[in-house]
Amino acid sequence: MMTVMGWQMHVQPRADAFNGPNAWSLANYPMQANGSEMMRVALIQATERGVQVCAPVHNTLLIKSSIDVIGNAVAQCQRAMGDASELILKGFRLNCDAEVVRYPERYFDKRGEAMWSKIHKFMN
C-alpha cells in the first residue's frame, strides 16, 4: 500500500486466521497516511511562506506571530493547508478553520479536560 507521495506500508502475508495484518489498520491506512502527507506538505508550504510553525498537533498547525500580523499568518497557514489538500487529493480543496489565542489567554479544549487533569495531578 502506498500514499500519494510514495510512503509505503509493507503488508506481510497472513499466516493463518489469527496471525497477519490487522484488517482495520489496512482499511484505515489510506485515510491516515494521506492525511499525514497533507500535514507534511502544509507545514513545508507554511514555513516557506514565512509562517512561524511551532508544531504540528494531530491535524493542526500551531503557529506563533506578533499581534499586528497574526491575521496574515493565519491566512497564509490556511492557504498552505488548502493547497496541500489540493495536491494530495488531486484537486479537491479542504477548508480549515482557525482559532487565534492572544496573550495572556491560553488555548483550552474541553475535550481534553479529563486527560489534562490526570497529567496535572501526576505532575504535582
**pTM, full prediction:** 0.81
Per-residue pLDDT reduced to its tens digit, 45-68:
999 999 999 999 989 999 999 999
Per-residue pLDDT reduced to its tens digit, 66-102:
999 999 999 999 999 999 999 999 999 999 999 999 9
DSSP three-state, residue 52:
strand
Q: CB-based contacts of 38: which residues, under 8 Å, 6+ apart?
A: 81, 84, 85, 87, 88, 89, 94
DSSP three-state, residue 103:
coil
